[in-house]
A and B are shown apart, each in its own frame.
Chain A
């Protein structure tokens, strides 16, 4: 079995989806000859042609808006937003049109569209290149929102998102694109798309993470283990809908929860997770649900981003506060 990066996993998944269904189209800025600025669509235009891998004019609302029309014509567009901070020109089309089309038409029209967004920081980029806008989309009924965290999930989840008849916001932790490699078994049966996964079993504190912070949480769990603390880490994978069953099951055992994401904590995913856990597991909780995330400031200049981003130490600090509560 080959070991692959997240970038390769996504690339292979896109290729497989295009082979399986001739209605799958890719559109975005620089996705053709260049293969995307992160090379996720590398080689696809060469093999599938310019009609299926479409270099678009530089206009995000135009990309998503025309993809709506393609979906109405029976295609399954996969659009690439080059960076998280550039999704906002398309926000109106995503929220007012993409998200509502099925509802407005009472199910007569569908929007089988995937909007891929490289998200998160840690790559030393200039402003608008390191953001985490997931809560804005998870707050929008009609959209589904998922975040992959590793190469194998990247391979399967992108195919599953493309096969979904609802619009999916597909978040890719850009910091991980070319980082760790994992072995991919293409003959395996993947978990369903809209499910969370326990990636490390533990008994003292439940740590919830997704996308780039899964790795942070796993490192924290390793460090905590050296101090005799047992952390259970759950990779949420799906942010809308949320898969709360494994979370509740875990919290009922540990009684303590730390949520970590790069997005600002105020009204971030951690807020919703905290509310739901409190509603469902109130009598199991030994401590309040704690959130470790980006501060409620604009994303900082990159020289101080590692201080701003939640890291191993801040997760462990929250774990300690939870245990000492």
Chain B
């Protein structure tokens, strides 16, 4: 197969030359406010004056989010969860995005948004039910403004756009009232960027100027397939073709992710339409606990990304600038341990659903034919009463 980059023969410039390869340590347009070495840098558009309290808060959020992930992974190894989708390495992307939200904003997550869920005040224990097999999401989406985890890749992006169109129809965009104007953030990954639903979501959002932020965590891997299999150009550049701006942010930099997402959400709330945010990060763990990344990627690659750890760089910054003392770390350590205990004990105590409950909520009111099926099953079960079976 010939390389299309070689000779465009009248079809415009060589795109790989224009955009550069999709991976290049993030590329020159990567928005960054905190380097992997913990050095605070500034950006002409996306700067933000962070208070010491905010910075400590981000650090705490990321440490606790990692703890949720570590505990859940361990619970899977102990047989308490059937599977777990790990977020290791993506804490900054999720906390930065999650903390940029206002209460009236609405989140449409994938099944890996544990850090965002935590930001929405969802008990991390409620995240485990789906993976343990006791429910399919225990929280009330309307109460938390956080949709149910969505397994079919990219399907939730369209839901987010439709919800944003509803916000428009409610007149909750561009009024200037900070408590009224709302936006949607639709999460997805680099693999999902190939899905039809995601691309249709871009088109609908652009067409109606919907108040939605498309937040793509490019963690470089769709199970075993590298980002090069999904795109020949940087993902954020695709946005332009759909008619709205795209930004690539260092997804391992919680400050930059927060600043960029906050600005994009405000753009949406102000009625200026959709934005694509590509949070450039790395999936340090496996796709899920059933995956074996040693079959398809080099440990060198993982080692390279370890140096960009989102938590370590903020720790260095906090320490170097005297924004924390030992008591802060001790308290946080105790809090993380308590969270771990809560998850371990809570998970084991999660009750299995009653078998008969499967008939509930198929419809808002049970149909007569389903009730008959339920009653037949109940009679069948009752026929065993008093027997040895």
- A interface residue numbers (CB < 8 A to B): 25, 51-52, 56-57, 59, 61-62, 64-75, 77, 89, 92-93, 96-97, 101-110, 141-142, 144, 165-166, 194, 241-242, 244
Contact = CB atoms under 8 A, between A and B. Distances in A.
A2 B135 CA distance: 52
B127 to A, nearest CB: 14
A69 B197 contact: no
B362 A102 contact: yes
A96 B155 contact: yes
B140 to A, nearest CB: 5
B102 interface: no
Contacts, number: 135
B197 A61 contact: yes
A310 to B, nearest CB: 26
Interface centre among B141, B150, B363 (most CB of A within 10 A): B363
A230 B59 CA distance: 81
B17 interface: no
Given A65-B155, A104-B148, A109-B142, A73 B162 contact: yes
B326 to A, nearest CB: 44
Contact of A72 (B141, B150, B157): B141
B166 A75 contact: yes
Contact of B158 (A68, A104, A244): A68
Contact of B362 (A59, A69, A72, A103): A103
Contacts of B203: 57, 59, 62
B46 interface: no
B192 to A, nearest CB: 13
Interface string B119-161: 0000000000000000111001110000110101001011111
Interface stretch (B70-78, B310-318, B366-374): B366-374
B137 A70 contact: no
B304 interface: no
B173 interface: no
B211 to A, nearest CB: 12
A165 B364 contact: yes
Contacts of B169: 25, 51-52, 75
B363 A66 contact: no
Contacts of A107: 360-361, 364
B201 A62 contact: yes
Contacts of B141: 72, 105, 108-109
Contacts of A65: 155, 157-159, 161-162, 197, 200-201
B109 to A, nearest CB: 13
A62 B142 contact: no
B163 interface: yes
A151 to B, nearest CB: 27
Contacts of B158: 61-62, 64-66, 68-69, 93
Given A59-B196, A71-B162, A102-B362, 11 more contacts: A62-B204, A65-B159, A72-B162, A73-B162, A92-B152, A97-B159, A101-B148, A103-B361, A105-B137, A105-B361, A241-B367
A92 B207 CA distance: 23
A97 B155 contact: yes
A113 B19 CA distance: 43
14 contacts: A51-B169, A65-B158, A65-B200, A65-B201, A66-B201, A69-B158, A69-B160, A72-B162, A73-B166, A102-B364, A104-B136, A106-B136, A110-B364, A144-B363
B155 A69 contact: no
Nearest to A112: B364
A59 B200 CA distance: 7
A287 B360 CA distance: 38
Contacts of B160: 69
B379 to A, nearest CB: 15
